[in-house]
Amino acid sequence: MHHLAQIPFPEVKRLAAGGRALTILPVGVVEEHGAHLPLGLDSFAAEVYAASAAPDLEAGGYDVVVAPTINYGVARAAIDFPGTLSLEPETLRSMVVEIGRSLARHGLRRLVILKGHRDLHHMKALDDARSILVSEKAAQVLVVGFAHDAEMTAACYRDGVKQFYQSPRPDREGHGGESETSVALHSFPQLVKREVIPELTPNFDYDVEAFRNETKDYWSISDGRGYFGWPQAASAETGAKLVAVRGANIARVILKEWGSPGKS
Say if CB 237 and CB 187 are below 8 A apart: no
CB of 46 to Zn ion, least distance (A): 10
Q: Using H for helix, E for strand and C for coil, what is the string for 147-196?
A: CCCHHHHHHHHHCCCHHHCCCCCHHHCCCCCHHHHHHHHHHCHHHCCHHH
CB of 28 to Zn ion, least distance (A): 8
Contact call for residue 173 and Zn ion (CB under 5 A) = no
Kindly identify the residues of this chain, within the stretch 231-250, that bind Zn ion according to CB under 5 A.
Answer: none
**Taking the CB of residue 190, how many other CB atoms lie within 10 A of it?**
6
Binding segment for Zn ion (CB under 5 A), chosen from 15-23, 40-48, 62-70, 245-253, is 40-48
The count of chain residues that interact with Zn ion, using the rule CB under 5 A, is 1
Q: What pairing do the DSSP bridges indicate for beta strands 21-27 and 110-115?
A: parallel
Helix and strand numbers, DSSP H then E, in the chain: 9, 5
Contact call for residue 42 and Zn ion (CB under 5 A) = yes
CB of 172 to Zn ion, least distance (A): 15
* Buried-exposed string 48-61: b where 16+ CB fall within 10 A, e elsewhere: bbbbbbbebbeebe
CB of 113 to Zn ion, least distance (A): 16
Q: Which is nearer to Zn ion, 42 or 56 (CB)?
A: 42
Binding segment for Zn ion (CB under 5 A), chosen from 37-45, 65-73, 97-105, 235-243, is 37-45
Q: Which is nearer to Zn ion, 31 or 63 (CB)?
A: 31
| CA torsion angle 192 190 162 55 (round to 10) | 150
CB of 56 to Zn ion, least distance (A): 23
CB of 117 to Zn ion, least distance (A): 6
Element (H, E) at 50: helix 41-59
**Taking the CB of residue 231, how many other CB atoms lie within 10 A of it?**
33
Contact call for residue 47 and Zn ion (CB under 5 A) = no
Residues that bind Zn ion (CB under 5 A): 42
